[in-house]
């Protein structure tokens, strides 16, 4: 089984109160200093996303998930929120969501702001396309200055069972992968994703090496090390 380790950075920053951390609401500003870690398995995809969110004062932060064709299923478990999404072709995505703060969950079947066909896109019959409602999940924290989310997402077809995800404190095991991260509001954000047998890893610590992410991978039998550094983009005013 071939696995590729992949890093992805995502998140939104806000410095106003009462506005969610993700979404299209006014006041949100995208930045590229949030450090999720992704690993990708070719036959049956698995993703790990680590979001570090900080504000100047206590605000609510929302983690959002969406499905297009079928409703989501949600389970509020003692140490995680489990959300399952499916499509009509048998595709399945199971998100295991962990948070540093207490959260409140909701699923709705309408858009926050209804989409409009402002380009007047037409179908094969020449009629204006109407966009149907989708399903939207949100996990919203209590007001806090710092929030950290860890999401393990297992995406696969209907030809296998869901991966087992086990959490013990700040460590989560997914098959042969070990994920260790800071899931508290204190200290610097940090995450480590390792696979000892294949000798691949991803390590990020906001308090070390200027917050660089270090990736160790195996490419054609050779070990490859990469260092990725985040930076603030130039905003257009």
Is 234 a domain residue? no
Residue 207 lies in a domain: yes
203 found inside a domain: yes
Residue 79: left if φ>0, alpha if ψ -120 to 50, beta else—which one? alpha
126 inside domain: yes
At residue 69, the pLDDT reads 92
Enumerate residue ranges in the chain where pLDDT < 50. Answer: 1-43
For residue 5, the model assigns a pLDDT of 35
CATH of the domain at 61: 2.70.98
Q: What is the pLDDT of residues 109-138, one digit of tens each?
A: 988 888 888 889 999 999 998 888 899 999
Residue 235 lies in a domain: no
* pLDDT given at position 19: 37
Give the pLDDT confidence score for residue 94 in this predicted structure.
95
Tell me whether residue 233 is in a domain.
no
Q: Residue 75: its pLDDT value, please? A: 96
End-to-end Cα spacing for the chain: 47
Query: Strands across the sheet with 213-219, in order?
Result: 165-168, 171-174, 177-181, 190-195, 200-205, 213-219, 222-228
Is the residue at 41 inside a domain? yes
Q: Which domain holds residue 33?
A: 3-228
Q: Is 201 within a domain?
A: yes
Considering its fold, how many domains does the chain have in total?
A: 1
Tens of pLDDT, residues 179-210: 999 999 999 999 999 997 888 999 999 988 88
């Amino acid at each position: 089984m071939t696995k590729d380790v992949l890093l992805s950075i995502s998140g939104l920053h806000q410095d106003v109160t009462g506005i969610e951390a993700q979404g299209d609401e006014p006041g949100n500003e995208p930045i590229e200093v949030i450090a999720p870690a992704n690993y990708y398995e070719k036959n049956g995809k698995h993703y790990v996303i680590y979001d570090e969110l900080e504000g100047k004062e206590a605000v609510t932060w929302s983690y959002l998930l969406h499905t297009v064709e079928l409703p989501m299923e949600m389970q509020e478990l003692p140490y995680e929120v489990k959300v399952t999404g499916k499509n009509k072709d048998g595709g399945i995505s199971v998100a295991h969501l962990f948070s540093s703060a207490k959260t409140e969950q909701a699923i709705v079947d309408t858009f926050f702001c209804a989409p409009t066909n402002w380009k007047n896109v037409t179908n094969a019959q020449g009629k204006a396309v109407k966009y149907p409602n989708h399903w939207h999940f949100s996990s919203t924290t209590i007001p806090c200055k710092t929030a950290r989310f860890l999401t393990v997402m297992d995406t696969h077809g209907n030809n296998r069972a869901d991966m087992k995800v086990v959490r013990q404190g700040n460590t989560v095991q997914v098959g042969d992968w070990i994920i260790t991260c800071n899931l508290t509001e204190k200290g610097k954000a940090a995450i480590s994703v390792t696979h000892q047998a294949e000798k691949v890893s991803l390590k990020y610590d906001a308090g070390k090496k200027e917050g660089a992410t270090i990736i160790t991978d195996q490419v054609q039998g050779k070990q490859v090390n990469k260092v990725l550094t985040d930076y603030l983009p130039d905003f257009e005013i």
